């Protein structure tokens, strides 16, 4: 029976990353995937003739581990992402959109316009309450995380006098829109924790949208890099190989 140093169950991003790390260290890896394509919740596939893109849709510029891992697989960010400098929020029963800059350094004009504009849907009073909400949240995240974790995001917004409109139009899209749970169900710590990496790496902030199917442009090339590394390692360390079940299309 074939022997392996490690058996990895699942070729989602976690399994692929693990496989990449181990293959690079010359380990003999068996990577098992139940589905016919690699990528898990970061995969793309055809279902009954319909092209499906699963979970992961947007890369956030301040991610630090993912670019390292992609580089290891020989993938350049600019090859797989197109960059977006703004976020548009559609407001119920309104024709206009709230447009906020999402790339302070790459798109400063849009960032400034987002702060100064949007006055019809986001009046000055609402903007000021949001500034207070965000600054206090980030401060509490550093100085008093336990207290922040004891408060849900709706109560925290109320405490900072964020109006119902501002809460619904700005905070909900960036919280419930990501966690798929009502705002009473997650703490302010969870919300601000997501933003925390942006403090140190705000200059990297921008949003990447995949230039093709996620399996095609990212996950399959990662799987191929594992195989390649394993094959390359094989020439140096005799017992290295990499295998996964399932069809790589
Ligand atoms: C709707 C949605 C939107 C998202 N949007 C974003 C986004 O915009 N930006 C972002 O950064 N993240 C986003 N995410 C999160 C991101 O998609 C996930 O965090 C990431 O893909 C999880 O990777 P994983 O490897 O941990 O798990 P998974 O991708 O779930 O991988 C697990 C793998 O294991 C396989 N598996 C399970 N059991 C077995 C078994 N017994 N044998 C063999 N294989 C098995 C599965 O088939 C799967 O391929 C989103 C998630 C969702 C659901």
| Digit-coded pLDDT (tens) for 212-239 | 999 999 999 999 999 888 776 655 444 3
Q: Is the pLDDT of residue 249 over 50?
A: no
Ligand 1 atom with minimal separation from the 245 CA: 43
Closest CA to 192 of 160, 223, 217: 160
Q: What is the pLDDT of residue 26?
A: 87
Which of 15, 55, 57 has the alpha carbon at shortest distance from 33?
A: 15
**Lowest mean pLDDT across 8-17, 69-78, 101-110, 149-158:** 101-110
User: What SS3 class is residue 248?
Assistant: coil
Rg over alpha carbons for the chain, rounded to the nearest Å, is 22
Find the Cα–Cα–Cα–Cα dihedral 227, 228, 234, 235, rounded to 10°. Answer: 170
Residue that is written with structure tokens 């390292």 in the block: 68
Measure the CA–CA gap between 218 and 79, rounded to whole angstroms: 10
Q: Around Cβ 220, how many Cβ atoms within 10 Å? A: 21
State how far Cα 204 lies from the chain centre.
14
> Span 6-56+213-243: which CATH code?
3.50.50.60
Per residue in 10-64, pLDDT (tens digit) is 999 999 999 999 999 988 888 999 999 999 999 999 999 999 999 898 999 999 9
Residue 88 CA to its chain's centroid (Å): 18
Task: Determine whether the shortest distance from the Cβ of 10 to ligand 1 is under 6 A.
Answer: yes
Residue among 8, 9, 12, 181 to mutate when testing ligand 1 (max atoms within 8 A of CB):
12
248 — pLDDT class (breaks 50, 70, 90): very low
Over residues 71-98, mean pLDDT: 92
Neighbour tally for 67: CB within 10 Å: 15
pLDDT for res 198? 84
13 C-beta closer than 6 A to ligand 1: yes
CA end-to-end span of the chain: 28
Look up residue 181 and give its two tokens: 């749970």
Look up residue 104 and give its DSSP letter.
T
- CATH 3.50.50.60 in the chain is located at 6-56+213-243
Q: Is the pLDDT of residue 179 over 90?
A: no
Q: What would the pLDDT profile of 187-198 be if each residue is shown by its tens digit?
A: 999 999 988 888
65/191 Cα distance (integer angstroms): 20
């Amino acid at each position: 029976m074939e022997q392996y140093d490690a058996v990895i169950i699942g070729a989602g991003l976690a399994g692929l990353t693990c496989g990449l790390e181990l293959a690079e260290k010359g380990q003999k890896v068996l990577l098992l995937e139940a589905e016919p394509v690699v990528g898990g919740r970061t995969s793309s596939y055809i279902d009954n003739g319909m092209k499906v893109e699963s979970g992961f849709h947007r890369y956030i510029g301040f991610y630090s581990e993912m670019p390292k891992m992609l580089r290891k697989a020989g993938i350049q960010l600019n090859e797989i992402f197109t960059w977006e400098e703004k976020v548009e929020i559609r407001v119920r029963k309104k024709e206009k959109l709230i447009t906020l800059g999402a790339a302070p350094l790459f798109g400063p004009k849009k960032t400034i316009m987002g702060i100064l504009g949007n006055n019809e849907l986001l009046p000055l009073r609402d903007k000021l309450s949001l500034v207070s909400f965000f600054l206090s949240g980030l401060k509490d995240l550093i100085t008093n995380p336990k207290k922040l974790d004891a408060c849900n995001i709706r109560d925290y917004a109320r405490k900072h006098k964020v109006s119902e409109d501002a809460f619904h139009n700005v905070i909900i899209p960036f919280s419930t829109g990501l966690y798929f749970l009502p705002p009473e169900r997650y703490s302010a710590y969870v919300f601000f924790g997501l933003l925390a990496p942006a403090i140190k790496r705000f200059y990297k902030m921008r949003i990447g949208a995949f230039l093709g199917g996620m399996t095609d442009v990212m996950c399959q090339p990662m799987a191929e890099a594992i195989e390649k590394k394993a094959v390359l390692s094989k020439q140096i360390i005799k017992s290295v190989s990499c295998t996964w079940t399932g069809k790589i299309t």
